[in-house]
Amino acid sequence: MDVDFALTAFLTGWLAATVRLAGPLLLAALGELFAERAGVLNIGIEGVMLLGALVAWWAAWSTGSLWLGMLGGMAAGLTAGGFLGFMYVTAQASQVVVGVIFNIFALGLASYAYRLILGGASGAQTAVMFSVLPIPVLSEIPFLGPILFRHTPLVYLTALAAAVAWFVLRRTAFGLNLRAVGENPRAADTAGLDVTAYRYAGVLISCVAAGAAGAYLVLAQVGQFRETVVSGQGFIALAIVIFGRWDPLRATIAALIFGAADALQLTLQIFTSGVPPQLLLALPYLVTILAMSGLIGKADQPESLMVPYSRE
Amino acid sequence: MTPFLSARGIVKRFPGVLANDHVDFDVRSGEIHALLGENGAGKSTLMQIVYGLYGRDAGEILIEGRPLDLRSTRDAIAAGIGMIHQEFMLVRRFSVTENVVLGLKAGGGLRPLDLAGPAREIAELSRRYGLQVDPSARIEHLPVGTQQRVEILKLLYRKAKLLILDEPTAVLTPGEAEALLKVLRTLADQGHAVVIVTHKLHEIMAAADRVTIMRDGRVVGSVKTAGSSEAELARLMVGREVALTARRSTRPAGPSVLRVENLTVGDDQGRRALDGLSLDLREGEILGLAGVDGNGQSELAQALTGLRAAAGGRVLLGARDLTRASPADRRSAGVAYVPADRRHVGSVGALSIAENAILGDQRAYARFGLLDRRRSRSFAAELMERFDIRPRKPEYPAGKLSGGNLQKVQLGRAIASDPRALIVEQPTRGLDVGAVEAVWAELLRLREAGKAILLISAELEEILNLSDRVAVIYEGRIMGEMSAAEADLRRIGLMMAGSHGEEVGHADP
């Protein structure tokens, strides 16, 4: 076989898979960015993604509509967000404890509900899935075309979401207010901003995005619901926020790097190499632990992250 | 002339306290009006009511003679009332412009935000009132005095006609304070009404046109400063004659007790908080360490007491090197410490007075690992008798004590250990005049008893009144040292701003 051809095929396959796999990670990370910028560390997105995946699968499987599936995932996220927002903001519970426990609860709930829905049906039930929508002209560009422009609509929408997130956070009054609440809630309160409302907004945005990311996994990558469909990708999204230093554009780059690591082990399985794929599979999680340990990014972290606010 | 703002018959009750008891208060456009009173006199409550932060139980507020329906700060701001709190309400990572416009679109809005227009307006306001603020600067890069002027800009941008400043000079160097008072005068000259809430009498005499004095929730007087004196104001404020000048000892200081040599210490962010600092603390003297908060004072106290590791240099008690000693070892060697934060560092709020009184010496009060409660209670009772700590109940939780009483517990505990050197940090911060008198008297008694005392304080008045020697700290270094006789406000002020105090020049950086 021609070496150049093999290399190009490997690179194209790898990088296209990178973009594909980065999508849900980025979507969840973008939402999380809003929560953290408002001062709430929402660790619960892992569980929210799972609930989103379940409801999206159920809605798409029973109605046959992809977009109803996506909507279902987001609605699940919104519901979970209402609960988490209450715990984080109103009850002012420890954000880490609530998030971690919620993830465990979500796993139990999703498994139970899945069995309930399936009832007597045997085997996994496959939902409809998004098909690839090549962008005319652009997808024909050699090398870049297949990497960037031959994807499901969800990839393009996620890219658009990153740009919108950047604009909203950086250029609008809503973004300025939200960031002020996460940096110095007292100052924001004194300036007449409703700290509680902005923090709820951050949590709800993160949960809807996480629900959508869960739906994304089912509707564009797996086609079925499994308890392992999320398996830590919510946590990776948390790491992406840190590596992206709480900025949507830098988070996009971080998501691509995590996507690349994930894609590499998939691609290497096809191309066979000496490296055990399990080792590569573990790599992103190892990096995530590093990111979450607080060794990285402290300087850019919103100053009131994880600090509940009350007037006195 | 109708006053810009009149408060008539304001009554405010808190559970168990009548904070404002039919208070009348007027402020006119074009004047600087001082509101004077001890802690708990009700002056802050009154201002919070005027600014819409608290509701009132009775009374009305008039703006230019017309009643104002005041329900929230929003109503106050709309009526032209603005307030600057002691703690600045700024987002450190935002620019000046972003801070100024923050909250004007409280509901959010997803359309592009125009910052260029406001930036121009802010620059114009800054020029007009001589504020010298760059709209594009980030707050975290600005000195405290400038941050305060950003707060003033926030109010001016919102078209405030009345500016209320709560203890505005507490965090400033004397030079910055003077500059601020000049700005306030400019504001008044241009038709604004200015209220400063303060307890610094000399400042009132220097800057205010009129002063209203409050005591126990009531207004006890409202006078023109021109016809008054510091002594009269002090008498009105406290309700009796006060002598807040301590007698200095004539006794010469003894041999050196605690020596600090070239001490270098990092702060929490890893920056250098102390940079080769040296001090010599002698027997039977009070060495006053003056300086604006945040120039390494806390780090010095922590390094001396073993709460913070030294990166270089030495700490010697007599001949003994304590540089690497643990806090417990230093205590038993004879270094006692009264920290600035008496609520969180100096005491455990949930524990009783008796338990707090023996904190650190628990082992001396234990038999076979069990605390002898009778002994700790009788020790606490003794302490409370001697220092007049109220309520006189050893089982009372320390967290519920007033600042003054809690400070006496701390001080009493430190003294009971019979230390050779005593480090006291901001010993009278937030205390009322009566408690200040008691703490000062106790420190002077200790000096007479031959203790070596390091007095770390941001209050120059305190430093000048108590110290035998004065050292000035600036950015982790000693800028200069002088005997009490040579110490004057101007020279110390210059050193606090980072100059060596010799040259006659600008106090502002």
A302 found inside a domain: no
Average pLDDT over residues B365-371: 87
Whether residue B109 lies within 8 A of chain A, CB to CB, comes out as yes
CA Rg, chain B, in Å? 25
Beta bridge partners, B317, equal B258, B320
A12 found inside a domain: yes
Beta bridge partners, A21, equal none
Contact A173 B108 (CB under 8 A): yes
**What is the β-pairing status of strands B452-457 and B285-290?**
parallel
Structure token pair of residue A305: 């992250």
Report how far residue A21's alpha carbon sits from residue A263's, in angstroms, rounded to the nearest whole number. 7
Contact B91 A186 (CB under 8 A): no
pLDDT greater than 50 at residue B173 = yes
Report how far residue A31's alpha carbon sits from residue B438's, in angstroms, rounded to the nearest whole number. 57
Report how far residue B325's alpha carbon sits from residue B319's, in angstroms, rounded to the nearest whole number. 14
> DSSP class of residue B473?
E
Report how far residue B153's alpha carbon sits from residue B170's, in angstroms, rounded to the nearest whole number. 19
A301 found inside a domain: no
Between A121 and B228, where is the model more confident? B228
pLDDT of residue A312: 62
Whether residue B270 lies within 8 A of chain A, CB to CB, comes out as no
- Using an 8 Å CB-CB cutoff, list chain B residues near A176: 94, 98, 101-102, 113
Task: State the CB neighbour count (10 A cutoff) for residue B437.
Answer: 17
pLDDT of residue A15: 92
pLDDT of residue B110: 85
Contact B113 A188 (CB under 8 A): no
Report how far residue A283's alpha carbon sits from residue A246's, in angstroms, rounded to the nearest whole number. 22
- Among residues B110, B98, B89, B97, the alpha carbon closest in space to that of A201 is found at B110
**Residue whose pair of structure tokens reads 């250098």 in the numeric block:** B272
In this structure, the dihedral spanned by the alpha carbons of residues B414, B416, B422 and B428, taken in order and rounded to 10 degrees, is 50
A312 found inside a domain: no
Q: What is the CATH number of the domain that holds A72?
A: 1.10.3470
- Of the ranges A230-244, B54-68, B75-89, B101-115, which one carries the lowest mean pLDDT score? B101-115
What domain count does chain A have?
1
CB B420, CB B284: distance < 8 Å:
no
Q: How confident is the model at residue B507 (pLDDT cuts 50, 70, 90)?
A: very low
Report how far residue B265's alpha carbon sits from residue B78's, in angstroms, rounded to the nearest whole number. 48
The minimal CB distance from A171 to the residues B88, B105, B112 is found for B112
> DSSP class of residue A167?
H
A308 found inside a domain: no
Contact A180 B106 (CB under 8 A): no
pLDDT of residue B505: 41
Chain B stretch 48-77, residues whose beta carbon is closer than 8 A to a beta carbon of chain A:
73-74, 77
- Using an 8 Å CB-CB cutoff, list chain B residues near A184: 89-92
Please, which residues have CB within 8 angstroms of residue B166's CB and are 6 or more apart in sequence?
B44, B47, B83, B84, B85, B86, B197
Report how far residue A72's alpha carbon sits from residue A215's, in angstroms, rounded to the nearest whole number. 8
A102 found inside a domain: yes
A298 found inside a domain: no
Task: State the CB neighbour count (10 A cutoff) for residue B67.
Answer: 11
CB A51, CB A106: distance < 8 Å:
yes
Q: Is A108 exposed, middle or buried (0-12, 13-18, 19+ CB in 10 A)?
A: exposed
How many beta-carbon contacts under 8 Å exist across A and B?
72
CB B163, CB B150: distance < 8 Å:
no
3-state secondary structure of A232: coil
pLDDT tens, residue by residue, B218-268: 999 999 999 888 888 888 887 776 655 655 666 677 899 999 999 999 887
Identity of the amino acid at B421? A
CB A30, CB A42: distance < 8 Å:
no
User: Which of A190, A196, A303, A311 to probe the B interface (max B CBs under 10 A)?
Assistant: A190
Report how far residue B226's alpha carbon sits from residue B288's, in angstroms, rounded to the nearest whole number. 33
Report how far residue A247's alpha carbon sits from residue A256's, in angstroms, rounded to the nearest whole number. 14
Structure token pair of residue B314: 């030495």
Between B176 and A205, where is the model more confident? A205
Report how far residue B92's alpha carbon sits from residue B141's, in angstroms, rounded to the nearest whole number. 8
- Using an 8 Å CB-CB cutoff, list chain B residues near A174: 108-110
Q: How confident is the model at residue B504 (pLDDT cuts 50, 70, 90)?
A: very low
Whether residue A176 lies within 8 A of chain B, CB to CB, comes out as yes
Report how far residue A204's alpha carbon sits from residue B210's, in angstroms, rounded to the nearest whole number. 52
Please, which residues have CB within 8 angstroms of residue B98's CB and are 6 or more apart in sequence?
A176, B91, B115
Task: State the CB neighbour count (10 A cutoff) for residue B489.
Answer: 12
What pTM was computed for the model?
A: 0.80
Contact B106 A192 (CB under 8 A): yes
pLDDT greater than 70 at residue B43 = yes
Contact A184 B113 (CB under 8 A): no
The minimal CB distance from A172 to the residues B73, B99, B112 is found for B112
pLDDT of residue B68: 93
Peptide bond before residue B391 is cis, with ω within 30 degrees of 0:
yes
- Using an 8 Å CB-CB cutoff, list chain A residues near B14: none
**Residue whose pair of structure tokens reads 């051809």 in the numeric block:** A5
A303 found inside a domain: no
Task: State the CB neighbour count (10 A cutoff) for residue B215.
Answer: 19
3-state secondary structure of B388: coil
| ipTM metric | 0.88
The CA–CA distances, whole Å, from A251 to A208, B303, B403 equal 18, 41, 48
pLDDT of residue B461: 83
> DSSP class of residue A38?
T
Q: By residue range, what is the domain housing residue A95?
A: 2-120+127-292
Structure token pair of residue A287: 């990096």
CB B46, CB B23: distance < 8 Å:
yes
3-state secondary structure of B396: coil
Whether residue B117 lies within 8 A of chain A, CB to CB, comes out as no
CB A217, CB A24: distance < 8 Å:
yes
**Mean residue pLDDT across chain B:** 89
- Among residues A182, A188, A173, the alpha carbon closest in space to that of A202 is found at A182
Report how far residue A247's alpha carbon sits from residue A212's, in angstroms, rounded to the nearest whole number. 20
pLDDT greater than 50 at residue A252 = yes
CB B439, CB B431: distance < 8 Å:
yes
3-state secondary structure of B95: strand
All structural domains of chain B, each given as residue ranges with its CATH number in brackets, are 5-238 (3.40.50.300), 246-334+419-509 (3.40.50.300), 346-417 (no CATH)
pLDDT tens, residue by residue, B330-359: 999 999 999 988 888 888 989 999 999 998
pLDDT greater than 80 at residue A277 = no
The minimal CB distance from A183 to the residues B73, B91, B105 is found for B91
Structure token pair of residue B214: 């409050």
Average pLDDT over residues B124-130: 93
Which long-range contacts (C-beta less than 8 Å, at least 24 apart) are formed by B348-352?
B348/B398, B348/B399, B349/B397, B349/B398, B349/B399, B349/B400, B350/B397, B350/B399, B351/B397, B351/B398, B352/B380, B352/B394, B352/B395, B352/B396, B352/B397, B352/B398
